[in-house]
């Protein structure tokens, strides 16, 4: 598992990486959910729209401290992660989930020992058509994110780094 870092300290200690684009700060559009306020890990990317079949597929694999970053197209019309998937992520060893879209079962997710960030919550569940793309570059919150990069999140925000950071 990656060691979570305070994002403000990481920014202060890595000004040159911010200047050259190797360390990026996501726009502050995400709400904080899940038991872990601070989390970090290598990124697995997923692009879906109002469909969570691939979300479950990935969360059923060993997480090994990774963070699933889901480009849900910013949809505010349904949730693509719920309590069952939050529990699955915890059980399979994922460090966290970031959703450019909505979650549901907020109280259940808040009880899970993972970090979750999402645009908001919505009670309606998603479609189950199995449409999406795994391990592809995605663009969310003003930032291009690639599979295998690193994510650091805390109460101050979310950082994306080309490599694992240390302070």
Binding residue numbers: 82-85, 104-105
Cα dihedral angle (141, 144, 146, 151), rounded to 10 degrees?
Answer: -40
- The DSSP H or E segment spanning 7 is helix 7-13
Count other C-beta atoms under 10 Å from residue 105's C-beta. Answer: 21
- Residue ranges of the binding site for Mg(2+): 105
- 3-class state of residue 69 by DSSP: strand
Structure tokens at 49: 């729209």
- Residue ranges of the binding site for substrate: 82-85, 104
């Amino acid at each position: 598992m990656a060691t979570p870092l305070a994002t403000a300290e990481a920014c202060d200690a890595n000004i040159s990486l911010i200047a050259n684009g190797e360390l990026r700060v996501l726009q502050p559009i995400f709400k904080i959910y899940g038991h872990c306020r601070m989390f970090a890990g290598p990124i697995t990317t997923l692009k879906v729209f109002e469909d969570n079949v691939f979300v479950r597929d990935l969360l059923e694999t060993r997480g090994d401290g990774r963070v699933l970053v889901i480009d849900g197209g910013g949809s505010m019309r349904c949730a693509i992660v719920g309590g069952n998937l939050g529990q699955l992520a915890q059980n399979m060893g994922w460090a966290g989930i970031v959703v450019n879209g909505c979650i549901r079962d907020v109280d259940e997710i808040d009880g899970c020992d993972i970090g979750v960030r999402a645009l908001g919550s919505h009670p309606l569940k998603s479609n189950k058509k199995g449409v999406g793309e795994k391990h592809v570059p995605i663009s969310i919150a003003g930032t291009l994110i690639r599979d295998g990069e690193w994510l650091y999140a805390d109460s101050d925000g979310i950082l994306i780094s080309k490599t694992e950071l240390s302070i």
